[in-house]
Chain A
Amino acid sequence: MTDLLEGEIGIATESDLVVARKAVRGAADSLGFSVTDVTRIVTAASELTRNIFRYAGTGVMRWHRLERGGSLGLELTFADDGPGIGDIEQAMQAGFSSSGGLGLGLPGAKRLMDEMEIASEVGKGTTVTVRKWRRKA
């Protein structure tokens, strides 16, 4: 394993989701995020790791500390070599699910975080990157 503020965790089994949530909580806590922001970040991470597990089977979560213009933040990346997402716009719509889920994971993660990017190619895989900045007040 790695230190609190950056690291990498392989996602392959259900118990890896718990490990990933713990790691993200540790990083967000030690960066001084508010309790509610920590909850937001961990929840978004839970959604995105579960998507890897559910749609790609295996993948990896990476995280690291950000610093920009005196602000601190946390970046999380979720990468897999799974089937990819054909229509990203559709996948981002609240309520869209190809698996009978609530279809809240992707759009919800976007709302909970400050920034989100998805890169995906059908047959190649998906990479979702999210960032959260520490609120000033």
Chain B
Amino acid sequence: MTGSISVIRVGDLLLVTVPPDPDDPTVGELQEGVLRAMEQYDAKGLVLDISTVETLDSFFARTIAETAQMVGLMGGRTVIAGMRASVAITATQLGLTLGGSLTALDVDRALRLLGRGAQGGAR
């Protein structure tokens, strides 16, 4: 699993596709990779595509929420895209909140949401 995170640039945004069942080091690597890319490309936002993720436990969720917060401190906005219905139900029951990060049904919508934000549009 290690080494399977790749950060893709889409204009001034970053897109990361999270693998289905990452181990903890991979989750840690995701955070590192994202922050490095934020700095390197001076990105305005991050889209985390979690559409293939089947299990979101508290560790994973906390890392995502923290990463979003760090990206925020670096001046970017994070959108979590494509969460599966079963994962959303489980996460809610577990009590996870993702720290109020923005969410979108899919990557397309996430990119549009951030694109609009960059133009200074409303929420």
Contact = CB atoms under 8 A, between A and B. Distances in A.
Interface string A98-126: 00011011011001100000000000000
Contacts of A1: none
Interface of B, helix, strand, loop or mixed by DSSP: helix
Interface of A: 14-15, 17-18, 21-22, 25, 35-36, 38-40, 42-43, 46-47, 50, 94, 101-102, 104-105, 107-108, 111-112
Given A14-B25, A47-B58, A108 B86 contact: no
B84 to A, nearest CB: 8
Interface string B23-58: 111000000000000000000000000000011111
A42 B95 contact: no
A15 B24 CA distance: 8
Contact of B94 (A22, A50, A104): A104
A40 B93 contact: yes
Given A14-B23, A112-B93, A112-B94, A50 B1 contact: no
A122 B28 CA distance: 31
Given A14-B23, A14-B24, A102-B62, A46 B55 contact: yes
Interface of B: 1, 21, 23-25, 54-59, 61-62, 84-87, 89-91, 93-96
10 contacts: A14-B24, A18-B21, A18-B23, A22-B21, A36-B86, A43-B57, A46-B57, A47-B94, A101-B58, A112-B93
Nearest to B1: A18
A48 B28 CA distance: 20
Contacts of A94: 95
A101 B62 contact: yes
A42 B55 contact: yes
Given A36-B89, A105-B58, A43 B94 contact: yes
Contacts of B25: 14
A112 B23 contact: no
Contacts of B93: 40, 108, 111-112
Q: Which 9 A-B pairs have the closest CB atoms?
A: A108-B94, A46-B57, A39-B86, A36-B86, A104-B58, A14-B24, A39-B90, A18-B23, A35-B86
Contact of A15 (B23, B61, B89, B90): B23
A78 B61 CA distance: 22
A94 B96 CA distance: 11
